[in-house]
Chains A and B, each alone.
Chain A
């Protein structure tokens, strides 16, 4: 019972982060800032939903597989994000930059 409550709390928290990421995806002004919003979904959203599911699965092989999915996501999603950002920049998508900055020039 207590485990169920904790598990559902984690799944709902993950869901909330996914929705926040989706809202960000719609609200952000340009391509690169939208990618930042999406990165909440595949890190915090995915992580909390997986943790909730692990509590549901308990001490079993399913838990091992869920952890494997988590590791796979955390190793592959930054590579995909990096490839997408790099391809966009290489193809001439100009990032919208804040004005009056000292550290940036590109």
Chain B
């Protein structure tokens, strides 16, 4: 129930910020749309832990994103240097490893973070195994047992609290 309330608030905040108009008629349309979308999401059973992960602490998510931006900047510079190097020093590598996340949100965050970081792409991802394509051998070595793996494991929380 708390999850539904949080979805309603988040959707309405999104409506207000996107429209920027505060006439009663438009706010009324906003409320109607938000209620309709929430009803639909509930009906489709996508307003769950996975679809609307409201249980994640905001501080943990924001600090993870800041750390991720730093990582994207650093590996982006590395890839840019490789592209502009006349010798084009690439050593493409495929690597398989087991991620240590337990929840669907954790697995998705880890896989997407790897893809978002320039120089590494998650080709296959499931709970048991990730297959990652890396631009260099070093990059491939860097995704196994990485700091990213540890950080996502920390903020995803436990999979045992499935009931709302």
Residues of A within 8 A of B (CB): 17, 20-21, 23-24, 27-30, 32-33, 35-37, 39-40, 43-44, 47, 61, 64-65, 68, 74-75, 77-79, 81-82, 85-86, 89, 95-98, 101, 103-106
CB < 8 Å: which of B82, B92, B116 contacts A98?
B92
CB < 8 Å: which of A61, A64, A82, A101 contacts B122?
A82
From B1-9, B38-46, B130-138, the one touching the partner chain is: B130-138
- Could you tell me the distance between the alpha carbons of A81 and B115 in the complex, rounded to whole angstroms? 7
B139-152 Cβ-contact flags toward A at 8 Å (1 or 0):
01100100000000
- Could you tell me the distance between the alpha carbons of A61 and B20 in the complex, rounded to whole angstroms? 7
Chain B residues bordering chain A, tally (CB within 8 A): 41
CB < 8 Å: which of A21, A30, A33, A106 contacts B131?
A106
Q: Which residues of B contact A47 (CB under 8 A)?
A: 69, 72
- Could you tell me the distance between the alpha carbons of A96 and B93 in the complex, rounded to whole angstroms? 8
**Contact status of A20 and B94, CB under 8 A, knowing A39-B121, A89-B123, A101-B137:** no
The answer to whether A43 touches B116, judged by C-beta atoms less than 8 angstroms apart, is yes
Q: Which residues of A contact B58 (CB under 8 A)?
A: none
Q: Which residues of A contact B122 (CB under 8 A)?
A: 78, 82, 85
Q: Which residues of B contact A28 (CB under 8 A)?
A: 83, 88, 90
Q: Which residues of A contact B94 (CB under 8 A)?
A: 95, 97, 104-106
Please give me the residue from chain B that is nearest to A37 by CB atom. B83
CB < 8 Å: which of B18, B112, B141 contacts A103?
B141
The answer to whether A36 touches B135, judged by C-beta atoms less than 8 angstroms apart, is yes
- Could you tell me the distance between the alpha carbons of A86 and B115 in the complex, rounded to whole angstroms? 12
- Could you tell me the distance between the alpha carbons of A85 and B130 in the complex, rounded to whole angstroms? 13
- Could you tell me the distance between the alpha carbons of A23 and B96 in the complex, rounded to whole angstroms? 29
Please give me the residue from chain B that is nearest to A77 by CB atom. B116
**20 A-B residue pairings within 8 Å (CB atoms):** A23-B83, A28-B88, A29-B88, A33-B90, A35-B121, A36-B119, A36-B121, A36-B135, A39-B115, A44-B118, A61-B20, A85-B133, A89-B123, A89-B124, A95-B133, A97-B94, A98-B92, A98-B137, A103-B137, A103-B140
